[in-house]
Structure 1
Amino acid sequence: MMKLNTSLQSLSHSKCCTLAGSLNGRRSKPSRISCAIAAPPAEEVKMRVKRNENFGKLQAGYLFPEIARRRRAHQEKHPDAKIISLGIGDTTEPIPKSIAEAMQQAAAGMATLEGYSGYGAEQGKGELREALCQRFYSHVGRKPNEIFVSDGSKCDIGRLQMMFGADTTVAVQDPSYPVYVDSSVIMGMTGEYDEGSKGFGKLQYMVCRPENDFFPDLSKVQATDLIFFCNPNNPTGAAATRKQLEELVAFARKNGAILVYDAAYAIYIADSDLPQTIFEIPGAEECAMETCSFSKYAGFTGVRLGWTVVPEQLKFADGSPVIADFNRIMTTIFNGASVIAQAGGLAALQDEGFREMSDLVAFYRENAAILRKTFVDLGFSVYGGENAPYIWVGFPGKPSWDVFAEILEKCNIVTTPGSGFGPAGEGFVRASAFGHREDILEAVERFKKEFGKQ
């Protein structure tokens, strides 16, 4: 047999096929199946590359893909159901006209010699940086060169995590936007997950619940290198007072920490007494950087455009400027935001575009007011929805995912379980005001039908 196998392997492809045909008792078309008999077995590839072990620490799936998975499963179970989403905070209304027209013109210009643009400055177009500064920051002493235009604040959070490195310690609001925690986990900043506490051992969780007006008791927070703080908060909808932000800045300065201030919803602040940027607080320029986005301002969730402000006064422990390293990160792993998106951003900051953008924000604010009133009238404990596009609804004693499932099953409405934002979010769900008005009103009627009788 050893000699037969050797001789079979030495046959040419045509001879092998002819032999196979003879073995089959016919001299028709050669059989190609038998050629596989002679092929040597493939060796399994042995990889050298180890998986980043930190991915194994991430819990479940990232929150919003998991919600989408459960929504799909519900739709498959109830194919005729009209599902209304109050879950993921994705905008639904068209981009304002003058802003969209500016992007349309920029896109058309790319087909002409005069309008074509290749690589631009990684930090963003100068005129856009100047417009952002003039519209939002000139009154608090910031400069255009301190503003870095990007493809969104979520992306910038990942980049700045890379800049700070794995040895950095982190504090986050609890509950908070999941990207702060998950990016810290991926970087190796967090230690292991503790099933008992539902948190990561090396993270500092700054608990924000109704009993402390959704602002952490800083006397119980250990010093860390970074503090992530979202204001107005996603998910609770709470907006910090000036006094609270003064305490936060004083805490960061005392401990030599850098405050990463996420102002993605600042334009939703309706109360004129509440700060709209951390740089309204004296001393923040020496301890804070601020990230923001056009996503919820102008409906740019699909367009992708944001910015991060890094003051020249912000320094590392060795005295080197943070702005220099952030500039290096941006120029190393980012090639600049789309010139078409930047044209839209610039239009949004002109008087006409800003009026249109403000009208869009007012529309979502009204959605939030409608939802808030509904939950209040139904007797729930309700927070947010006044200076933010999110409503935080309490279901004491009930696991958040169970409440999510109940609302989905009874009302065909998607919300967001509070526990997905951190341990302190248990017992709450978040409702988003981003939706068509008719869907918001229909959702209200469904809530009244199912929960008004309780």
Structure 2
Amino acid sequence: MAAFQAPSSISSSSSTFLVHNGFSLRSSKICPPRSRTWVLKCVAAPPNSETAHKTKVSRNENMAKLQAGYLFPEIARRRSAHLLKYPDAKVISLGIGDTTEPIPDVITSAMAWRSRALSTIEGYSGYGAEQGEQKLRAAIASTYYGDLGIEEADIFVSDGAKCDISRLQMLFGSNVTMAVQDPSYPAYVDSSVIMGQTGEYYNDIKKYGNIEYMRCTPENGFFPNLSTTSKTDIIFFCSPNNPTGSTASRDQLTQLVQFARESGSIIVYDSAYAMYISDDSPRSIFEIPGAKEVAIETSSFSKYAGFTGVRLGWTVVPKELLFSNGFPVAKDFNRIVCTCFNGASNISQAGGLACLSPDGLKAMGDVINFYKENTAIIVDTFTSLGFNVYGGKNAPYVWVHFPGRSSWDVFAEILEKTHLVTTPGSGFGPGGEGFIRVSAFGHRENVLEACKRLKQLYK
């Protein structure tokens, strides 16, 4: 499904573009009211099963194991249904973790310059290195891993961490076992299902067979009890965590690395929110001694620089990481990248290089601090209402407990009574039941208005 959401306002430059290209700004079909979201479904009507031609190609049986729709499109569907019911409502989204503030000018200027250069003989470039431009790989290595023994050759630039998760699953194949934090970002489990790594889905416990769900709760500090965790080939671990907002300490990550070394596992460490850390928690798994022999790290500019639409990330595969037969994991991942990918956009890579300049780092820091201020406002709101609130310190997510209640019911109650979109915790795994995730990505006036409505609902 492709979704088109009309912006809340159209700039003068955008207006000029639309008019000059034959679009009427007076047409409600082109420019819907600000409060509405228009969803365009790019699907054909299902044919009559009795008369339609059928191929002899069997459907991938693993696709049938996936439960309902992917979490965030399902939220978008429910939001659209709500808008049909309340067409004049001002719906505020604190659900999907999409950034809202403009990309700093120091970054967009670099992308604009690179874009204009493509119109010149001297500045044109076609296919680039699949692993990313050398200057950007070097800048990532020096900025984020300068004293950790990670070199530019260990870094693979991509079109985002989510895409790399799927490429890594392709690398591992269908015969591995995997573990995930519970709750966790749903792409880890869904990509595992599609690859055929899992068993059937058990609706009574809301779990797939052949996946080790590492329960993370307030009682264990959102870090799994590794002494009772079954050994698996692959361990997906995210810190700061999405959705709980919790961050693993140095001691905890040391335990995780030691666990992986003893069990012969590979950790896939998602550090997409590392720049939000404000205490002494590790920002990279490679800060832990021995991690280079057992870990891969994936990260992204999405939540740092507002690149959710620009698409740029990276994955670190250290040369020290070896398969059981001694073959370097990085060589196989390089083959996957070269087979499935032609490299990130040269324009987005110019933006990434600007992000890592002194001015770019400061600008990203300013945007991150803005979202952290939003987070503090949300945390204060729920705390003042008597809720148990987690996360929010080192991540742009607030994890709110509604004990004894279905998270989808809480989602529906908040949407129906306040016109606010949140995210139900159960969408992140069975461990998320009874919680909702509230995102701090939003314009300040919307965050303040949302908190005002929540206080009216739960006062």
Does the TM-score normalized on the shorter chain lie above 0.5?
A: yes
Give 1:407's aligned residue.
Answer: 414
Name the aligned partner's letter for residue 387 of structure 2.
F
CA–CA distance in structure 2, aligned partners of residues 142 and 445 of structure 1:
46
Task: Please give the residue correspondences for 1:367-378 in structure 2 after superposition, counting only pairs within 5 Å.
Answer: 367-378=374-385
Greater per-residue helix proportion: 1
1:282-313, Cα deviation, whole Å (9 max, x unpaired): 00000000000000000000000000000000
Structure-2 residue corresponding to 1:55: 63
**Which residue number corresponds to residue 357 of structure 2?**
350
Shift of 1:138: 1.5
What does residue 18 of structure 1 align with? none
* SS class of match (2:147): helix
Are 1:359 and 2:349 an aligned pair?
A: no
2:275 to 244, 253, 267: 267
Matched, 1:280 2:287: yes
SS at match of 1:383: strand
Query: Residue in 2 aligned with 1:139?
Result: 147
What SS class does the counterpart of residue 53 from structure 1 fall into? coil
SS at match of 1:101: helix
Q: Does 1:247 align with 2:255?
A: yes
1:135-169 residue CA offsets vs partner (Å, 9 max, x unmatched): 00021110000000000000000001001100010
Any stretches of 5+ residues in structure 1 without a counterpart?
1-42
Alignment of 1:18-33 (within 5 A): none
**2:19 corresponds to which residue?**
none
Alignment of 1:295-334 (within 5 A): 295-334=302-341
State the partner residue of 1:94: 102
TM superposition shift of 1:46: 3.8
- The AA in structure 2 aligned to 1:447 is L
Distance 1:329 1:379, change over 3 A: same
- Aligned position for 2:217: 209
| CA distance in 1: counterparts of 2:388 and 2:96, whole angstroms | 21
State how far apart, in whole Å, the 2-side matches of 1:162 and 1:219 are: 29
Larger-gyration structure (1/2): 1
The amino acid that maps onto 1:399 is S
The alignment status of 1:72 with 2:80, answered yes or no, reads yes
SS of the residue corresponding to residue 361 of structure 2 reads helix
| Structure 2 CA distance for aligned equivalents of residues 413 and 399 of structure 1 | 17
1:44, distance to aligned residue in structure 2 (A) = 5.5
SS in structure 2 opposite 1:180? helix
1:386 matches 2:387: no
Q: Give the counterpart letter for 1:413 in structure 2.
A: L
**Which of the numbers 164, 170, 174 marks the counterpart of 1:162?**
170
Alpha-carbon distance, 1:390 to partner: 0.2
Q: Partner of 1:259: helix, strand, or coil?
A: strand
Task: Give the C-alpha shift of residue 441 in structure 1.
Answer: 0.5
Q: Quick one: distance in 1 between partners of 2:309 and 2:399?
A: 25
CA distance in 1, matches of 2:249, 2:144: 19
Given residue 161 of structure 1, which amino acid in structure 2 is its aligned partner? Q
Q: Over residues 374-401 of structure 1, what are the superposed CA-to-partner deviations in whole Å (9 max), with x where a residue is unaligned?
A: 1111100000000000000000000000
* d(CA) in 2 for partners of 1:339, 1:450: 48
Structure 1 residue 45, shift from structure 2 partner: 3.1
Q: Distance in 2 between matches of 1:375 and 1:86?
A: 14
Give 1:449's aligned residue: 456
- The aligned residue for residue 175 of structure 1 is 183
Deviation, 1:201, is 1.1
Question: What is the one-letter code of the residue matched to 1:352?
Answer: D
CA 239–44 in structure 1, closer or farther in 2 if over 3 Å, else same: closer
Query: What is the SS of the residue equivalent to 2:437?
Result: strand
Matched, 1:339 2:346: yes
SS in 2 for 1:289: strand
In structure 2, how many angstroms separate the alpha carbons of the residues matched to 1:396 and 1:209? 13
Which whole-Å deviations, capped at 9, do the CAs of 1:145-200 have from their partners, x for residues lacking one? 00000000000000010011000100000000000000000000011000111100
Tell me the distance in 2 between the aligned counterparts of 1:435 and 1:448: 18
The answer as to 2:93 corresponding to 1:119 is no
* Identity in percent: 65
Q: Give the structure 2 partner of residue 224 of structure 1.
A: 232
Secondary structure in 1 matching 2:146:
helix
Q: How many residue pairs align between the two structures?
A: 410
1:13 maps to none
Aligned to 2:202: 194
Q: Report Cα offsets for 1:90-131 as digits up to 9, x if no partner.
A: 000000110000000011111111111100000000000000
Q: CA offset at residue 219 of structure 1?
A: 1.0
Q: Cα deviation per residue 1:322-349 (whole Å; 9 max; x = unaligned)?
A: 0000000000110000000000000000
Task: Identify unmatched segments of 5+ residues in structure 2.
Answer: 1-50
- Taking the aligned partners of 1:196 and 1:74, their CA distance within structure 2 comes to 29
Q: Secondary structure at the match of 1:139?
A: coil
Distance, in Å, in 1 between the alignment partners of 2:324 and 2:442 is 45
CA distance in 2, matches of 1:414, 1:268: 23
The structure-2 alpha-carbon separation of the partners of 1:44 and 1:301, relative to structure 1 and needing over 3 Å to count, comes to closer
1:245 maps to a residue whose letter is: L
Q: 2: CA distance between counterparts of 1:69 and 1:85?
A: 13
Separation in structure 2 between the aligned mates of residue 203 and residue 171 of structure 1, nearest angstrom: 6
Pick from 397, 421, 424 the counterpart of residue 428 of structure 2.
421
Which amino acid letter does the alignment assign opposite residue 377 of structure 2?
Answer: I
Distance in structure 1 (CA, Å) of the matches to 2:303 and 2:53 = 47
Deviation string, structure 1 residues 341-373 (Cα, Å, up to 9, x no partner): 000000000001110011011111111111011
- Does residue 108 in structure 1 map to residue 116 in structure 2? yes
TM-score, length-normalised on structure 1? 0.90
Aligned counterparts of 2:132 and 2:111: Cα–Cα separation in 1: 16
Please give the per-residue CA displacement for 1:188-236, whole angstroms capped at 9, x wherever unaligned: 0011000111100110000001010000001111000000000000000
Q: Please, what TM-score do these two structures have when normalized by structure 2?
A: 0.89
Cα distance in 2 for partners of 1:164, 1:390 equals: 30
